[in-house]
Amino acid sequence: MRRLSRDQGTGDFGDSTGTWRKSARSWANSDCVEIGQPADGVVAVRDSMSPRGPVLEFDGGKWNAFLADVRVGRFSL
C-alpha cells in the first residue's frame, strides 16, 4: 500500500483513472470511499468528501485479498 499526500496525489490521478466510483448503496451526501483504477493496475481509494485529499494505492493482489476477506465477513462487527 502506498499513501499519497495532498501534494503528491492530485485526487484525479491526472485523469489516468478514468472515473472514480463508489457503492451504489451510498447516498449522494454520505461519507463514503471511492475507488479508482489507473492504467498501471493499481487500485486507488479516497474519501468521497475530500476528493483532493490523500489517496491510498494498493497493488491488485493485495486489493483482491482484501475483497476476499470482506466477502467472508472477516471485518464484520
Residue 37 scores a pLDDT above 50 = yes
Residue that wins the pLDDT comparison between 68 and 51: 68
Q: Which residue has the higher pLDDT, 3 or 7?
A: 3
8 Å CB contact between 1 and 54: no
Q: What pLDDT sits at residue 64?
A: 92
Give the mean pLDDT of 26-41: 77
pLDDT for res 18: 57
Kindly give, in sequence order, each residue whose CB lies less than 8 Å from that of residue 71, ignoring residues fewer than 6 positions away: none
Mean pLDDT score across all residues of the chain? 76
Share of the chain above pLDDT 90, in %: 13
Q: Which of 65, 17, 21 is nearest to 38 (CA)?
A: 17
* DSSP per-residue string spanning 13-77: GGGTS---B--TTS-TTS--EEEE--TTS-EEEEETT-TTS-EEEE-HHHHHHHHHHHHTTTT--
